[in-house]
Amino acid sequence: MTKRIKGSCTTILVGKKASIDGSTIISRNDDGHEALDPERFVVVNPADQPRHYQSVISKVQVELPDNPLRYTSIPNSILTNGIWPAAGINSDNVAMSATETITTNSRVMGIDPYVDGGIGEEDLVTLVLPYIHSAKEGVERLGALLEKYGTYEPNGIAFSDHDDVWWLETIGGHHWAAKRIPDDAYVVAPNRMNIDTFDFDADDTLASADLQAMIDQYNLNPDFDQVNLRHIFGSATIKDTVYNNPRAWFGQKYFTPDVTQDPMEQDLPFICHANRKISIEDVKFVLSSHFENTKYDPYGSGSETDKTLFRPIGINRNHDVHILQIRNNVPATVAGIHWLAFGANTFNTVVPFYANVNDTPASYKNADGNFNLNDMYWLSCTTALLGDTDYDLYVDFRNTFALEAMGAYRKIQNDTDAAIADQADPTAFLAQANDQLAAESLKRQTKLLGDMVIMGSEHMKLRYNLND
């Protein structure tokens, strides 16, 4: 098998009654193993979807159906390790984000080892998203593929439609379990197994057919009085206490501030309830966060030990952040919104692209391995790099930029929503709106970078107080 490329992400899920406008939301930071790995935003039309698929990493071959749906995608620009589509929304307004790398334990690996020639993060969106008509169908299709082909890694995968949000976690080489997120709940999922309490007989759970029997046969349950999949199949390591748990803690602290928890706690809850309705801006803040207003903030005033103790959510290895929103208060034509930003999330802002299109704007789809400030990927990465050199100096520029940019994007979105009913060709009209959004984004991100350069030049160390 080709060398496996590892990523490490953070996921946020929001049920329709927990969001501010009745939308379902699945979102994720697509974090990589390197600081830079260019990505593109594209649409895969049915004619471009393969019928015979072969993975680059595992070499697995899968025959695909002849009736794929169109879908948005965020593939790698450099395809050495395969496509890695990351996430998208299909033409039936079903969304998928894959994957959140999770954890396991030796007991599971001794029963159902990984499959070197199986499927993995490189493959999942391509194999599933074009063929599903609901979130639950996504769980069922992926579950069947895992049972047939196996997987070489542990992953968490999110699905949503206008009613439901589902979360699936792989278990060993061939097993899996999934849970529907309650409508009034949210989830913050870092790189560990996240599902905790689980009822195999409930209407809101699905699992591989023999999973419960496997637990009993191999004496896997450490608890006396419950079935907790994190305890049974996951980890509770020292690494979890500094790499994973603090991210869940900070997200839960932000959404539910009246609950007091320890950032290293191994049993932070999977299903949570916020003290208010959750907005896109809330989700973006958490996915960009670095433990603000705590001693653990790398940009803060804590000790060097505290500032480097925990792995932040916003990090230099953020390649994109996507927030996939399926709206319920608008026509189905404009219901799917693929919010997107590239680069380290501390100095970017998400743009609400309509998913019901046949193509994407050039500045978001053309990035390659060559540095080019006309590509949003490279422009965003450059802004984040400069911002990192003096966060306190540049943060107000960032705050003003984010506020004004999001206002401008929402104005374009509101105008587009209002006009959609009068359009003879809504798909072409939405493509024009996406072009307008991309142009506004490129303009505003370029201005932010320029303002930072102008301000920062006055603070360079290479200066002298006496002028000629």
The parent domain of residue 349 ranges over: 8-370
Encoded tokens for 295:
């001693």
Determine, yes or no, domain membership for 102. Answer: yes
Reported as a single tens digit per residue, the pLDDT across 315-339 is: 999 999 999 999 999 999 999 999 9
Q: Among positive and negative, which fits the CA dihedral 429, 49, 2, 174?
A: positive
pLDDT at position 1 over 90: no
Determine, yes or no, domain membership for 455. Answer: no
- At 210, which CATH number? 3.60.60.10
Q: Return the ∠ at Cα 352 (arms to 122 and 8), rounded to 5°.
A: 30
pLDDT at position 7 over 70: no
Reported as a single tens digit per residue, the pLDDT across 248-265 is: 999 999 999 999 999 999
Determine, yes or no, domain membership for 401. Answer: no
Q: What is the mean pLDDT of residues 88-97?
A: 98
- 3-class secondary-structure state, position 186: strand
The residues assigned a catalytic role are: 9
Q: Tell which residue, 314, 247, 274, 210, has the closest CA to residue 15.
A: 274
Report how far residue 409's alpha carbon sits from residue 343's, in angstroms, rounded to the nearest whole number: 19
Confidence band of 465 (pLDDT split at 50, 70, 90) = confident
Determine, yes or no, domain membership for 253. Answer: yes
pTM: 0.97
Q: What per-residue confidence (pLDDT) applies to 35?
A: 87
Determine, yes or no, domain membership for 421. Answer: no
Rounded to 10°, the helix 426-457/391-419 angle is 160
C-alpha distances (whole Å) from 142 to each of 108, 295, 307, 344 are: 20, 41, 39, 30
- 3-class secondary-structure state, position 61: strand
Q: Tell which residue, 217, 181, 251, has the closest CA to residue 16.
A: 181
Phi, psi of 245 (to 5 degrees): -55, -40
Domain count, the chain: 1
Task: Provide the Cα torsion 274, 228, 237, 171; round to 10°.
Answer: -110
Reported as a single tens digit per residue, the pLDDT across 21-39 is: 999 999 999 999 888 999 9
Confidence band of 8 (pLDDT split at 50, 70, 90) = confident
Q: Among positive and negative, which fits the CA dihedral 367, 190, 243, 307?
A: positive
Q: Return the ∠ at Cα 211 (arms to 205 and 212), rounded to 5°.
A: 80
Encoded tokens for 343:
């680069």
Q: Tell which residue, 338, 330, 375, has the closest CA to residue 357.
A: 338
- How many other C-beta atoms can be found within 10 angstroms of the C-beta atom of residue 95? 33
Report how far residue 207's alpha carbon sits from residue 219's, in angstroms, rounded to the nearest whole number: 18
Determine, yes or no, domain membership for 464. Answer: no
Q: Return the ∠ at Cα 327 (arms to 323 and 332), rounded to 5°.
A: 120
Reported as a single tens digit per residue, the pLDDT across 95-143 is: 999 999 999 999 999 999 999 999 999 999 999 999 999 999 999 999 9
Determine, yes or no, domain membership for 184. Answer: yes
pLDDT at position 163 over 60: yes
Is the omega angle on the peptide bond into residue 99 within 30 degrees of 0, that is, cis?
A: yes
Query: For the chain, what is the mean pLDDT?
Result: 97
Alpha helices in 355-466 (DSSP H): 362-365, 376-389, 391-419, 426-457
Q: What per-residue confidence (pLDDT) applies to 468?
A: 64
pLDDT at position 466 over 90: no
Determine, yes or no, domain membership for 397. Answer: no
pLDDT at position 187 over 80: yes
**Contact predicate 322/355, CB 8 Å:** no
Reported as a single tens digit per residue, the pLDDT across 212-247 is: 999 999 999 999 999 999 999 999 999 999 999 999
**Contact predicate 439/370, CB 8 Å:** no
